[in-house]
A and B are shown apart, each in its own frame.
Chain A
Amino acid sequence: MENTIQLKLLAIGYDAAIMKVVDRLLNSHTGWNGVVAFTKAAGLKNIVDEKYDAVLLCVGVTIADEQVIREAVAIRHSATIVIRHYGGGSGLLENELRAALDHNNQ
């Protein structure tokens, strides 16, 4: 993925071992700057404190949590993309982000 713009990403997920892998993947990717929140509360605090280009909803985040997080993002930063990340730092990560960014830019 060619990127001259640095993407600021927040990944929220509750399995520490898996999220450490997601953290490593996000921050090893040229053009991505990732922050990981291991709890819903920490994620919501990040959303209040910072503006992200995209928020990734990862392992453990329930449908109810997703709704709360989406509302928190929508209130503060309507341009921020919120997407589900499936697969735990898998081969889908880059695809999910690119598809969401493409959709947003249309």
Chain B
Amino acid sequence: MAQYTYHKAETRGHDHHDWLDSKKTFSFGDYYNPKRMGFGALRVLNDDTLPGGKGFGLHPHDNMEIISIPLKGSLRHEDSAGNKAVANTGTVQVMHAGSGLFHSEYNNSADEIAEFLQIWVYPEELNTAPRYTLGRLSYDTAPNQLHTFIAPDGISIRKDVWMSIGQFANDVSLTYQVHKPGNGMYVFVVNGRFSIDGKVLSARDGLGVWDAGGIDIKVMDSDSRLLVMEVPMII
């Protein structure tokens, strides 16, 4: 029987600094809630806003899969492996920190804000070679379906994680089936409103579902965007 954990947007942790406004679905930084330590291998889901010209200065990471999805504006990435890129809205940036690297992420605009989702997944193996990938998301050009952008046979972070995103018109119905039995699904509403297995989710709400083969999705508002993260429930 399917199990659910529901995280309403307003229950997230919230840090506000002059350089960053961050809403955290799971415990991170100063926000600590022992009941919000992640969902299976999904450890971090931060909803970050950077003012113009601001960002994260050079800092290290290791052994974490870090996925950034710009929702507004663009991010300027540099890392110690020599990668330099600008991740615009409509792209996804995947950094496999592996054996360690330093990176910085700045709003690429001096004037406009940048909004992005910062998602961290525990790696399958420790201390592997760092890797950086910038991919394109196609939700705008082909609406009303989920587009898988992280997969073992595509941009891969580990062999048992799939991530999909879609932009939908009102009243569209669809089903998401897990790719790997035993995986859980964490659903995050970027914009709009959805019913997931009959539970209504509004913008920036999250719902974790496990012990289920899939979920029934119904769109309840126009211009609704949904992110589905399928992850193993054991780290």
Contact = CB atoms under 8 A, between A and B. Distances in A.
Interface of A: 1, 15, 17-18, 21, 58-63, 86-92, 94-95, 98-99, 102
Contacts of A61: 126
Interface stretch (B60-68, B152-160, B165-173, B182-190): B60-68
A52 B49 CA distance: 38
A59 B99 contact: yes
Contacts, number: 73
B97 A88 contact: yes
Given A15-B62, A86-B43, A94 B29 contact: yes
Nearest to A66: B126
Given A59-B127, A90-B59, 4 more contacts: A59-B62, A88-B62, A91-B44, A94-B30
Contact of A87 (B30, B34, B97, B126): B97
Interface size class of chain B, counting residues whose CB lies under 8 Å from the partner chain: 20 to 34
Of all A-B residue pairs in the complex, the 5 with the closest CB atoms, nearest first, are: A88-B60, A59-B62, A91-B29, A88-B62, A18-B60
B37 A99 contact: yes
Given A15-B99, A15-B100, A92-B28, A62 B63 contact: no
